[in-house]
Amino acid sequence: MSMETTAWTQLHSVMNAEQERRPLARATLRRIGAFARPHRRRIVRFVLLGVVTALLAVATPVLAGRVVDAIVSGGDESRVVHLALLIAAIAVAEAVLGILSRRLSATLGEGLILDLRTAVFDHVQRMPVAFFTRTRTGALVSRLNNDVIGAQRAFSNTLSGVVSNLVTLLLTLAVMLTLSWQITLLALALLPVFVLPARRMGRRMARMQREAAALNAAMGTRMTERFSAPGATLIKLFGRPEDESAEFADRARRVADIGVRTATAQAAFITALTLVSALALALVYGLGGFLALRGSLDPGAVVALALLLTRLYAPLTALAGARVEVMSALVSFERVFEVLDLTPLIAERPDARPVPDGPVAVEFDDVRFGYPAADKVSLASLEEVASLDTRGGDEVLHGLSFRAEPGQTIALVGSSGAGKSTIAQLLPRLYDTDGGTVRVGGVDVRDLTARSLRDTVGMVTQDGHLFHDTVRANLLLARPGASEDDLWDALRRARLHDLVRSLPDGLDTVVGERGYRLSGGERQRMTIARLLLARQRVVILDEATAHLDNTSEAAVQEALTEALADRTALVIAHRLSTVRTADRILVVEAGRIAESGTHDELLAAGGRYAQLHHARFGRRTVDKAA
C-alpha cells in the first residue's frame, strides 16, 4: 500500500466516523454478538485470511532485499531466480487470498445486512398505525440503509482490519528492528507528522461532509416535494416559477461551493502527506545508503527497509483510526437497536385461534380507548424533533357498546372527531382497547390469530390508496393466489371491468404513485375490487365516498352495494345519503353513542341525527319523506 493510498484511507476513515469519544456499551456488544453468532465460522475464516495476508505482505520486502544482496555479492544466479519465483508465488498467493478475502467479506457483510434489515423490517411491520403517522418515512428508511450498512462495516472492514494491521505492524517492526534499529526509530519519529495532520484534517473534512450532506438533503427534500404529483400540481396552481428556480439555484450553489472547498482541502492534505512520504523514503535511502557505504548495513537491507516503510505506516495509521471506526459502527448498531427496542403494542397471543366459520357478528362491549402517547410508539430521532410530544393517552371512547348481527349493516354518523374512525380501527385490531372488549364471531379480537382476523375483516378507507404498481399487483395484495378469472370478476363487480380492458396493458398497466393515473372514483372502486377479491365476511367502509363527485359517488355506491351483500358491515359516512338503508344507525358524539335507530326512527325522534340531516338536506326533504 502506497503512502498516498494510506493517506486517503486514513482521511476517509476519520471523515466518515463519529468524532465523539464514547464508552463501549456492554449491552450493545452483547447484542452485536447475538447477530454475529450465526456468522462466527465465516468471521474466523475471514480473520485467519487477514493474518495470512499480513504475513505474505511482510515477506515480500524481505525477499526483495535478499535479491539485491545476491546481485551485489555476485552470488549464484539460481538463487536470484529462486527468490524471484518465490516473490512471484507470493504475489499470486496474495492475489488469490485477496479475492477470497473480498468474497468472504462480501458474504459476511451482506449476510449481516440481510439479518439486520429483515429484523428491522419485520419489527416495523408489527408497529401500530400511530408509529407510521408520527415517523418520517425518510428517517426510517435511513435506518434500513445507511445505519445497517454502517453496522456491517464493523465486521467486513474494521474487525479484519484491526487483526491484520496489528499482525502486519508487529511483524514489520520486528523485521525492521532486526535490519536497522536506528532507521526504524527515525521512521517512527516521523509518524506524528503523518498521523496528526490526518486526524486534524479529517475532522475538518468531516464537518464539511456533514454540511454538504445537510445541504444535499435539504435540496433533495425540496425536489421530492415539488416533483410528487400533488406537489407539482400545487406549484403550478400557486407557485411562482421564477422564485422556485431562484430558491433551487441558491441551494444548488451552496452545494457546489462546499464541493469546491472539500476538493481543495483534500488536494492540500494529500499533497502534504505525499511530501511526508517522500521525506520518509529519502531518510531511509540517505541514512541506509550511508550505513551501507560504511559497511554497517547490507544494500539489500536498505531496499527492504524502504519497502517495509510503506507497510509500517499503513497499519499504524489504520490502527490510529480504529477506535473511531469502532465507535462509528457502534453508533450505527445503536440506531438500529433503537428501532428494534420499540415494543409493538399489538402482539399475537401464543394460544390465539382462528375466527369461527360461518356468518360473523361484531360486538363492542364497554369499549374504552385513548390513542397512545408518542413515547409509547415513536422515537424523537425518527420524527426528527428534539423531543417527543408529551400529549396523548387521553380517552376518546368512553364505555361504547353495540352489536352488529351477521349480515347486518350498522352505520356510524356524527361530528368530525367524534370517534367514528377510531371505532373502525379497533375492529381489525389496528389498535387494542384500553378497556372493554371488541369481539368478532363471539371471540375477543385479542384471542384471534392475526391472519384469520385479516382474512375476515376488510376495510375501504377514504383515500383509496394504491401502490405504484400494476392493476394486477394491487389486486393480488388481497388474495395472492387469485386466478385471472377471479381478478376480472372482482373488477366487473366493482364496475371497473370496461375501464381496465381499455387500458394499454390491461391488468399489467401501472397505476402510478398512489394510483394518481386513475380518477378518485376509479381509485376507490379499485380498492373495492380488492375487497371483493378478498371475500372477507366483515366489511368496514370509512368515508369511502367522502371526496367524490355525484357521478363518481353513484358508480362507487353500485360497487359498494355489491361489496356489502351478505356481509356484516360497519359504514362510516358524513354524507347521510349513503347510510339511509342501513339496518341501524348509531350517532356517535364525543366518544359515546348518543342515539341509535333506523333512519326514519331517528328523524322522528328529532335529536342529533335529525339536526345533521336537516343541516345537510334541509327540512323540506323530511317533509316530503313523511
Say what the pLDDT of residue 228 is. 67
Is residue 364 within 8 A of residue 438, CB to CB? The reply is: yes
Average pLDDT over residues 107-126: 82
Predicted confidence (pLDDT) at residue 17 exceeds the cutoff of 50: no
What is the rounded CA–CA span in Å between residue 495 and residue 532?
Answer: 12
Residue written as cell 486534524?
200
pLDDT tens, position by position, 78-97: 888 888 899 899 989 988 98
Angle at 290 between CA 285 and CA 291, to 5 degrees: 100
CA angle in degrees (0–180, nearest 5) for 200-206-209? 145
CB 185 within 8 A of CB 72: no
Query: How many CA atoms are closer than 13 Å to the CA of 217, on its beta-carbon side?
Result: 9
> What kind of architecture, by CATH, is found in domain 3-340?
Up-down Bundle (1.20)
Q: Which of the pair, 617 or 467, is modelled with greater confidence?
A: 467
Q: How confident is the model at residue 19 (pLDDT cuts 50, 70, 90)?
A: very low
User: What pLDDT is recorded for position 439?
Assistant: 94
What's the 3-state SS for 47-106?
HHHHHHHHHHHHHHHHHHHHHHHHHHCCCCHHHHHHHHHHHHHHHHHHHHHHHHHHHHHH
pLDDT at 626: 37
- pLDDT per residue over 564-576, tens digit each? 777 888 888 766 6
Q: What percentage of residues in the chain have a pLDDT greater than 90?
A: 10
Domain segments of the chain: what residues? 3-340, 362-376+394-625
**Higher-scoring residue by pLDDT: 445, 11:** 445
Query: Partners of 368 in the beta sheet?
Result: 435
What's the pLDDT score for residue 69?
A: 79
Instruction: Give CA–CA dist 541/50, Å, rounded.
Output: 61
pLDDT score recorded for residue 156? 65
Cα angle: 103, vertex 321, 329; to 5 degrees: 60
pLDDT(62) > 60: yes
Q: Does residue 375 carry a pLDDT above 90?
A: no
Query: How many CA atoms within 13 Å lie on the side-chain side of 326?
Result: 18
Q: Could you report the per-residue pLDDT of 556-609, keeping only the tens digit for each?
A: 666 677 667 778 888 887 666 667 888 899 999 989 999 999 888 888 888 888
Burial class (CB in 10 A: 0-12, 13-18, 19+), 436: middle
**Residue 366 scores a pLDDT above 60:** yes
Q: Are 459 and 361 in contact (CB under 8 A)?
A: no
Confidence band, pLDDT 50/70/90 cuts, at residue 195: low
Closest to 111 measured CA to CA, from 140, 162, 52, 151? 151
Cα Dmax for the chain: 124
Selected residue with higher pLDDT from 207 and 12:
207
List beta partners, residue 409: 569
Phi, psi of 572 (to 5 degrees): -110, 130
Instruction: Please say if the pLDDT value at position 340 is more than 90.
Output: no
Interacting residues of 416 by C-beta distance below 8 A, sequence separation 6+ = 574
Q: Which residues pair with 460 in a beta bridge?
A: 541
446 pLDDT above the threshold of 90: yes
Highest CATH level, class, for 362-376+394-625: alpha beta
What pLDDT is recorded for position 624?
42
Order of strands across the sheet that contains 592-597: 457-460, 538-542, 568-572, 409-413, 584-589, 592-597
Question: Alpha helix (H) ranges present in 126-239?
Answer: 129-134, 137-142, 148-153, 160-179, 181-189, 191-227, 229-238
Q: Of the given ranges (111-115, 215-219, 367-371), which has the lowest mean pLDDT?
A: 215-219
205-214, 256-265, 300-309, 544-553: range with lowest mean pLDDT: 544-553
Whether the pLDDT of residue 204 is over 80: the answer is no
Q: Check pLDDT > 50 for residue 11.
A: no
Share of the chain above pLDDT 70, in %: 77
Pairing relation of β-strands 568-572 and 409-413?
parallel
